[in-house]
Amino acid sequence: MKQFLLAPSILSADFARLGEDTAKALAAGGDVVHFDVMDNHYVPNLTMGPMVLKALRDYGITAPIDVHLMVKPVDSLIPQFAEAGASFITFHPEASEHIDRSLQLIKEYGCKAGLVFNPATPLSYLDYVMDKLDIILLMSVNPGFGGQSFIPGTLDKLREARKRIDESGYDIRLEVDGGVKVDNIAEIAAAGADMFVAGSAIFGQSDYKKVINDMRNELEK
Ligand code: DX5
Ligand code: ZN
């Protein structure tokens, strides 16, 4: 697998032409589709469910789909998203009554599993589950909306998460979500991230390929 993965967040895509716009972001060089699920309960916004994910698969999207669950409760949606075609499923630990059980459920359904940390959620949730994780996702904004600014304190937290991953010896991706742009992606990578969600930075421009190429060039510097 690539050293760095770019995950366009389709939260900022054109929902009236979602299949087409998603395919366009992948053709422009996106590696993974980031799929934000919001429930108007855990976060104050409402987005997409498993039917929309299934529709993307039926449309012909074959790239990995990274389902970011911003929902409470968590477990009832895991089988539905897995059956709809999710590749990765991540959830916020404080939204699950039984974190270990939720992680196991994701694995039982054949998906890769991860935990998501809000800016003020402590990394201590990692303590007893490192062996069950494929991804750690650090939010660099408060979840709920695209187009917010990157919270600088995330850089220290990324360094801490990178250290934990390296010390654990497990093969775990370190993903960052929120406010990632061409002008800060290099600094975010230097802090230890290797998977980058970008919504408004990509879909807010007419030339997706240029943004994605610019991001890759920054990562190669
Ligand atoms: C926010 C979502 C993000 C969002 C990022 O709650 O989890 O994935 O789409 O959007 P940008 O890249 O615009 O900050
Ligand atoms: Zn997200």
Return the closest-CA partner of residue 72 out of 39, 99, 112.
39
Q: Does the pLDDT at position 186 exceed 80?
A: yes
Kindly report the number of other CB atoms within 10 A of residue 55's CB atom.
Answer: 15
Q: Does the pLDDT at position 137 exceed 90?
A: yes
Mean pLDDT, the chain, whole residue set:
98
**Ligand 1 contacts CB of residue 73 (under 6 A):** no
Question: How close is the Cα of 128 to the center of ligand 2, in Å?
Answer: 24
Percent of the chain with pLDDT over 90: 99
The pLDDT value recorded for residue 2 is 85
Place of tokens 């949730």: 125
- For the residues 187-211, what does the mean pLDDT come to? 98
Contact 120, 93 (CB under 8 A): no
Q: Is residue 120 classed as helix, strand or coil in its secondary structure? A: coil
The pLDDT value recorded for residue 4 is 98
Catalytic hit among 31, 39, 66, 177: 177
Distance of CA 81 to the CA centre of its chain: 15
Q: Does the pLDDT at position 1 exceed 80?
A: no
Q: What is the CATH number of domain 5-220?
A: 3.20.20.70
**Ligand 1 contacts CB of residue 197 (under 6 A):** yes
- For the residues 30-58, what does the mean pLDDT come to? 98
The pLDDT value recorded for residue 221 is 86
- For the residues 13-41, what does the mean pLDDT come to? 98
The pLDDT value recorded for residue 43 is 98
Q: Does the pLDDT at position 159 exceed 80?
A: yes
Domain segments of the chain as ranges: 5-220
Find the helix or strand (DSSP H, E) in which 203 lies: helix 200-203
Question: How close is the Cα of 146 to the center of ligand 2, in Å?
Answer: 8
Return the closest-CA partner of residue 197 out of 66, 42, 70, 71.
66
Residues bordering ligand 2, an ion, CB closer than 5 Å = 36, 68, 177
ipTM for the predicted complex: 0.99
Catalytic hit among 31, 36, 39, 66: 36
Q: φ and ψ at 5, to 5 degrees?
A: -115, 130
Tokens of 62: 């074959």
Residue at 221: amino acid letter: K
Kindly report the number of other CB atoms within 10 A of residue 218's CB atom.
Answer: 17
Find the helix or strand (DSSP H, E) in which 67 lies: strand 65-70
CA distance 189 to 177: 12
Q: Is 60 annotated as a binding residue?
A: no
Catalytic residue status for 36: yes
Residue at 86: amino acid letter: A
Q: Does the pLDDT at position 154 exceed 90?
A: yes
Q: Is 30 annotated as a binding residue?
A: no
- For the residues 6-30, what does the mean pLDDT come to? 98
Burial pattern 170-195, b for ≥16 Cβ within 10 A else e, equals: eebbbbbbbbbbbebbeebbebbbbb
Q: Is residue 136 classed as helix, strand or coil in its secondary structure? A: strand
CA distances to 34, 121, 128, 192, 196 from 187, in Å: 21, 22, 29, 9, 12
What ligand 1 atom has the least distance to the C-alpha of 180? 12
